[in-house]
């Protein structure tokens, strides 16, 4: 989730750009850069690492001159974090400079086309393709050039563009990635989020998809792709700066919960082409895939809970034995693993120490390793045989939400892809799974639109001291994550149990007022979980049931009920986890907990 800021006015731009980027640091980044138009020449300074490195490089902006400029903080998706891959990117002759948020899905064929035309690329990014396209298609009319370039791009983008030949303007473009325009006195601004410009103005325009803005010192004009002018409604921001850094949300965790539809969509979209799942990152042949006799999944924390879901999904779809292992235990149990075992490693940061060491043990024993990580160029990604990246963007809150959801998305992609290769799913099943996969973001959004229902239940139940999550099959796998979310941010004692295990000891802990959250989404086992609900109710428990919309009859078997849309069984966790995340969030908020930074926890565990 990169950050963009731009300035055109009468003051020196660089100091403002640096301050603006500083306000966007919360978004997460691995490098930063500036480009200024200095007397008809585009001058770029950029650096890998923290913004402080760029400040040192430019003496806090004093060594860069010009009153028109753009800046960027980058979260790597294409090309490892480096000075060269940092934004802004210049075209070959230096006539155009571009900063970009988003992903250009067709950058490879575009890069190949431009390379064949003799254009030399400096970086490994998708963004440099945009800069080179601007120069390639430019015939003197900048607006025509912008429209021609946009017609060639597939994917999402927010762009800030400088042209050496147009020293008194900035071009801003938006498609599926946010971009705002700030309005000042004899100066104007662009930014990917409000905090970057809030010290200068509270008057903004929000660009919509396929809108092009021409920004000058004393004017802002917005056009559509037919070059027709668009009237923009002025918005006056009334947030304080602290709130604005969270996009208007009180906590990063809530913001990240709300971002899950987009994160899921962004993760699956690059892998869906012509009605098929494509995993270009995997170098395994079909024969190699067929040779595996077992799958081992290694992970910690919430990533391990994704692994438990994956065990149920893979075994049902692929008919291969699967073990989901806590990475911290795996290498100490003398595991039975060899070159006929596929190892799937899951880590949000790609630096989790226990997971990294477990992966090394699996490789040492001859296993092929596919990692699922969110950080390009991380240690686990580099040491894996293959890697599939989630595109969740950075998470600020310690308690993961959208990273968990995007990891699930990759599991579904793998299940469909491997199931097809192994001949375990029919063409009809393939198309059904694909249809349901593509519908998940919209269904998550539907759940989020009814979040007040979850908030109301949290207000009734947040005084509880003990909570038990129960479920069967894939619902049990999900109960692990629901329980963890609640305990890590609200500090309430919470446990997850396979529902059938309650009677083997744990039911002795149920007493009057104990909250039991019963997950009842798995169609084949609804009757079983209803019996478990009645068992705990008979002992005084308050039951909150989470089920699908078609099971309205479960209202009569529990004190409270939450409903989610229906989907295929293997994808139910992607929907059911959202109310559980919201419930944990609202309970923690009512208890006054430090939601984004819960006590004793770190975002990335890089030591054993």
Q: How far is CA 419 from CA 289, 290, 358, 411, 605, in A?
A: 10, 10, 26, 12, 33
In the annotation, is 603 catalytic?
Answer: yes
Q: How far is CA 6 from CA 23, 92, 150, 188, 239, in A?
A: 13, 22, 20, 8, 21
Max distance between CA atoms of the chain, in angstroms, equals: 80
What sign for the dihedral angle of Cα 559, 563, 568, 572? negative
Full DSSP string of 355-418:
HHHHHHHHHHTT-EEEEEESSTT-HHHHHSSEEEE-------SSS-SHHHHHHHHHHHHHHHHH
Tokens at residue 261, please?
């539809």
For residue 599, what are the contacts with CB-CB under 8 A and spacing of at least 6?
491
* C-alpha closest to that of 70 among 134, 2, 143: 2
Q: Are 306 and 411 in contact (CB under 8 A)?
A: yes
Q: Are 123 and 134 in contact (CB under 8 A)?
A: no
Q: Which of 19, 152, 316, 603 is catalytic?
A: 603
**Which residue, chain included where needed, has tokens 């849309």?**
565
Q: What share of the chain is helix, strand, coil (3-state, %, to 5)?
A: 40, 25, 35
State the Cα angle at 584 between 580 and 586, rounded to 5°: 115
Q: Which of 2, 35, 163, 545 is catalytic?
A: 2
Assign residue 101 a region (left: φ > 0; alpha: ψ between -120 and 50; beta: otherwise). Answer: beta
Q: Are 290 and 422 in contact (CB under 8 A)?
A: yes
In the Cβ-directed half-sphere of 483, how many Cα atoms lie within 13 Å?
A: 25
Q: How far apart are CA 199 and CA 194, in angstroms?
A: 10
Q: 13-23 and 51-58 are packed helices; what angle lies between their axes, rounded to 10 degrees?
A: 170
* C-alpha closest to that of 119 among 92, 94, 98: 92
The helix (H) or strand (E) run that includes residue 256 is helix 252-258
Known catalytic residues are 2, 603
């Amino acid at each position: 989730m990169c950050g963009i800021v731009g300035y055109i006015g009468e003051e020196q731009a660089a100091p403002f750009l640096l301050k603006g980027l500083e306000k966007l640091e919360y978004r997460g980044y691995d490098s930063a850069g500036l480009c200024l138009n200095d007397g008809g020449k585009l001058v770029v300074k950029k650096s890998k690492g923290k913004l402080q490195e760029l400040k040192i490089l430019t003496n806090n902006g004093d060594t860069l001159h010009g009153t028109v400029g753009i800046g960027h903080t980058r979260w790597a998706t294409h090309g490892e974090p480096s000075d060269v891959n940092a934004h802004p990117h210049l075209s070959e002759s230096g006539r155009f400079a571009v900063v970009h948020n988003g992903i250009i899905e067709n950058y490879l064929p575009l890069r190949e086309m431009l390379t064949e035309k003799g254009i030399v690329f400096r970086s490994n990014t998708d963004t440099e393709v945009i800069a080179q396209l601007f120069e390639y298609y430019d015939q003197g009319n900048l607006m025509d050039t912008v429209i021609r370039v946009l017609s060639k791009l597939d994917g999402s983008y927010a762009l800030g563009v400088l042209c050496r030949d147009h020293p008194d303007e900035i071009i801003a473009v938006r498609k599926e990635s946010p971009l705002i325009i700030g309005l000042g006195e004899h100066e104007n601004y662009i930014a990917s989020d409000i905090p970057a410009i809030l010290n200068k103005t509270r008057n903004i325009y929000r660009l919509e998809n396929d809108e092009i803005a021409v920004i000058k010192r004393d004017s802002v004009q917005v056009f559509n792709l037919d070059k027709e002018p668009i009237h923009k409604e002025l918005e006056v921001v009334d947030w304080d700066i602290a709130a604005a850094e969270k996009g208007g949300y009180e906590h990063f965790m809530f913001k990240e919960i709300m971002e899950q539809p987009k994160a899921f969509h962004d993760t699956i979209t690059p892998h869906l082409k012509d009605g098929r799942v494509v995993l270009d990152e995997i170098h395994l042949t079909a024969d190699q895939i067929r040779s595996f006799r077992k799958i081992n999944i290694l992970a910690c924390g919430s990533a391990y809970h994704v692994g438990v879901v994956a065990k149920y999904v893979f075994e049902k779809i692929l008919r291969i034995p699967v073990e989901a292992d806590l990475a911290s235990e795996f290498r100490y149990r003398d595991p039975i693993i060899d070159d006929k075992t596929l190892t799937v490693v899951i880590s949000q940061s790609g630096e989790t120490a226990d997971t990294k060491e477990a992966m090394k043990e699996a490789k040492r024993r001859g296993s092929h390793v596919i990692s699922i990580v969110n950080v390009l160029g991380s240690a686990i990604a580099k040491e894996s045989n293959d890697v599939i990246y989630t595109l969740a963007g950075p998470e600020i809150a310690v308690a993961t939400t959208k990273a968990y959801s995007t990891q699930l998305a990759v599991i579904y992609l793998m299940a469909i892809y491997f199931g097809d290769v192994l001949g375990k799913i029919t063409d009809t099943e393939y198309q059904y799974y694909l249809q349901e996969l593509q519908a998940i973001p919209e269904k998550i959004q539907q759940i989020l639109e009814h979040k007040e229902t979850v908030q109301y239940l949290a207000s009734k139940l947040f005084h509880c001291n003990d909570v038990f999550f129960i479920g069967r099959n894939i619902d049990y796998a999900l109960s692990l994550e629901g329980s963890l979310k609640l305990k890590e941010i609200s500090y309430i004692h919470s446990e997850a149990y396979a529902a059938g295990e309650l009677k083997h000891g744990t039911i002795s802990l149920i007493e009057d007022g104990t909250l039991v959250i019963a997950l009842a989404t798995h169609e084949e086992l609804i009757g079983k979980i209803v019996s478990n609900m009645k068992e705990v109710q008979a002992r005084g428990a308050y039951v909150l049931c989470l089920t699908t919309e078609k099971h309205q009859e479960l209202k009569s078997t529990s004190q409270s009920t939450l409903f989610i849309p229906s989907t295929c069984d293997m994808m139910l966790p992607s929907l059911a986890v959202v109310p559980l995340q919201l419930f944990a969030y609202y309970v923690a908020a009512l208890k006054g907990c430090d939601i984004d930074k819960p006590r004793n926890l770190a975002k990335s565990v890089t030591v054993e």
